[in-house]
């Protein structure tokens, strides 16, 4: 199970509330899982007790998000193995797209969304504010797909742009347009009451094209 999820022995030890040395002994057959450790596996990552003890059925029992902070690849494996929803489901991260970006706030998704038109996306995020109205309204959920390289930009399209200024990371939802200076990009809001921003290409950390939205009616 550990190798299937690509966990280190130290990470599994955290889940089991024990030490890396005990995990090593368990894997070498020198130490048996306690009832408490079985409960940790079942409660924290929804591991199947029957699979652990007898090798029966699926490795995991649910497709909801476990307490442990897995990577997207690990979550996909759990969901796929549980046979509950499509392995192409995309995480919804309830962290609004706004000025300063902190990666730690976006580590754990709240749930997975299985909607085939957007299943090739990287995540869903809500947005607030009026800088991209009327196309995107405050409260809309944005489906974002990461692009591999800045050279793949389609100018005139809307992107979630994460860029660095000094030691601070920012993120913004903007239309990207060319600049006369080839080393710069222009980030343009749709709302004329907001100003455009010019940033160096080299400051961009990640770019996600916006494939669509889910409107919230509140």
Chain-centroid distance, C-alpha 80 = 17
Domain 91-214: give its CATH superfamily.
Umud Fragment, subunit A (2.10.109.10)
pLDDT at 186 over 60: yes
Could you tell me the residue ranges of all domains in the chain? 9-82, 91-214
pLDDT (tens digit per residue) in 6-35: 889 999 999 999 999 999 999 888 888 898
How many CB atoms lie under 10 A from the CB of residue 189? 19
In the predicted model, what is the mean pLDDT of residues 171-180? 95
In the predicted model, what is the mean pLDDT of residues 33-46? 87
**Residue, of 5 and 205, whose pLDDT is higher:** 205
- Which of 142-165 are b and which e, b meaning 16 or more Cβ less than 10 Å from the residue's Cβ? bbbbebeeeeebeeeebbbbbbee
**Closest-CA residue to 121 (of 154, 72, 78):** 72
**Residue, of 1 and 211, whose pLDDT is higher:** 211
Residue 49 has a pLDDT of 80
Report pTM.
Answer: 0.60
pLDDT (tens digit per residue) in 72-115: 677 666 666 654 434 567 888 888 887 888 777 766 777 788 88
Decide: 163 and 204 in contact? Cβ < 8 Å. Answer: yes
pLDDT (tens digit per residue) in 127-168: 989 999 999 988 899 999 988 888 889 999 999 999 999 889
Q: Edge to edge, what strands does the sheet with 123-126 contain?
A: 111-113, 90-92, 123-126, 141-146, 204-214, 158-165, 168-178, 184-188, 197-200
């Amino acid at each position: 199970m550990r190798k299937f999820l690509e966990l280190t022995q130290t990470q599994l030890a955290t889940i089991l509330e024990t030490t890396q040395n005990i995990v090593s002994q368990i894997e070498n057959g020198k130490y048996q899982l306690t009832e408490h450790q079985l409960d940790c596996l079942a409660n924290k990552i929804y591991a199947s007790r029957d699979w652990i003890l007898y090798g029966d059925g699926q490795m995991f029992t649910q497709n909801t998000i476990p307490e442990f902070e897995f990577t997207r690849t690990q979550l996909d494996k759990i969901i796929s193995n549980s046979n509950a929803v499509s392995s192409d489901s995309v995480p919804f991260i309830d962290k609004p797209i706004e000025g300063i970006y902190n990666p730690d706030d976006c580590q754990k998704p709240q749930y997975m969304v299985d909607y085939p038109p957007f299943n090739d996306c990287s995540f869903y995020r809500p947005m607030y504010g009026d800088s991209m109205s009327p196309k995107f309204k405050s409260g809309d959920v944005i489906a974002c797909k990461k692009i591999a390289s800045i050279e793949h930009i389609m100018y005139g399209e809307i992107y979630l742009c994460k860029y660095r200024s000094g030691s601070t990371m920012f993120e913004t939802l903007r239309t990207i347009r060319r600049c006369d200076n080839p080393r710069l990009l222009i980030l343009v809001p749709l709302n004329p009451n907001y100003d455009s921003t010019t940033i160096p290409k080299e400051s961009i950390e990640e770019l996600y094209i916006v494939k669509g939205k889910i409107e919230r009616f509140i």
